[in-house]
Amino acid sequence: MLGGLMMMNWKHIAAAGLLALMSPLTAHATGNADCSIEEPGLKLFFEGLYSYGGTGEIFQSHASIELTDPKRPPGNWTFDMDGSVLQQQWVRGDDFRVLIYKEREGADMVLEINAKRTTPDDIEFPGTYKLVIGPSDGSLFSRTGKVACSAG
Amino acid sequence: MKKTIAFFSLLAGFAALPGIASATGGLGCGIDDKNVKLEFESLFSYSDIGGLFQIRGVLESKDKRTYEALQKMTLEATDLKQQWFRDNDVKLMLYRETTGDGVPFASVKLIIEATKPPEEDFGYDGKYSLTVQPVGDGAEAFTVEGKVGCSAG
């Protein structure tokens, strides 16, 4: 399925994502939202601003990844990403969900983060991640683990 | 049955759009009760990303306390502030606030949270909440809630 993505209308998807991320900043108070993964073979840091009031959406985000897992696809998997990779998000109430997509080394990288606040009003959102990289030859690299997110 | 007909009508509409790659599907949501009327349409890729694009539709808040310019609005891509369309979940946040010099602040925020029952192929059932911030000093925001149906395929 991921291999077929290359034929998709990525310009449409990217444009939609950019439009969503370029929404005007309002007078709502902002805070910081971030997620980090630090385990053997994978380090990731995602960070952005989000509005306390209004929509609670994350904006002005960026991320960096260092994938050294020996089973990773060929190529350089240590790089930075700008906010355009944030394709989906749901940060509301106790939920902190983020979907990051990046075309890299002829492959499609999808990182899904599902975190949930366990204590009311806490700024910590522990959760899990799933990283899938689908090279054009159809083989898949995937790994899962734990992620620590915070918003406050 | 009505849901199925509405869904295939939605797909037919998308099929008429020019330049749409074949690996896309349509997601639509509808509300029509005493508080809200919503006709939401979008496209998504069948990839593992699933993000929505080509947003269109109409959102109407029937409560007269809603600022006039926000009572009935044609939806644009920038109105979709948050989305989560994964597995059996559809979560959407549509939001618009007033803009412009001298225009008083008012806003409308619609949140949809629906899930697809196991026996359903296309249909999602869920709830919505519409939060309206009226114009005026001391005017308090109010929220109305109800049911929403969505279809994707």
Other residues' Cβ atoms within 10 Å of the Cβ of residue A10: 17
Task: Mark out chain A residues that contact chain B at CB-CB < 8 A.
Answer: 1-2, 4-5, 7-9, 12-13, 15-17, 19-20, 22-24, 26, 54-57, 87-92, 97, 99, 101, 108, 110, 112, 132, 134
Q: What pLDDT, in 10s, does the model give residues A76-89?
A: 999 999 999 999 99
Task: Pick the residue of A50, A85, A88, A136 with the most B CBs within 10 A to test the interface with B by mutation.
Answer: A88
Distance CA B67, CA A61 (A): 32
Predicted pLDDT at A71: 94
CA distances (Å), origin B144, targets A7, A110, B39, B62, B94 = 42, 36, 17, 11, 15
Q: What pLDDT, in 10s, does the model give residues A43-80?
A: 999 999 988 777 989 999 999 999 999 999 999 999 99
Tokens of A139: 């083989």
Distance CA B120, CA B149 (A): 12
Count CB pairs under 8 A between chains A and B.
104
Q: Given an 8 Å threshold on Cβ–Cβ distance, is B81 in contact with A57?
A: yes
Tell me if residue A8 falls in helix, strand or coil.
Answer: coil
Distance CA A26, CA B76 (A): 18
Query: CB under 8 Å to A3, separation ≥6 — which residues?
Result: A134, A135, A136, A137, A138
Q: What pLDDT, in 10s, does the model give residues A116-127?
A: 999 988 999 999
Predicted pLDDT at B17: 45
pLDDT averaged over chain B? 88
Task: Pick the residue of B42, B45, B92, B94 with the most A CBs within 10 A to test the interface with A by mutation.
Answer: B45
ipTM over 0.95: no
Q: Which residues of A115-124 are buried (b: 16+ CB within 10 A; e: fewer)?
A: bebeeeeeee
Predicted pLDDT at B137: 84
Q: What pLDDT, in 10s, does the model give residues B61-87?
A: 999 999 999 999 999 999 999 999 999
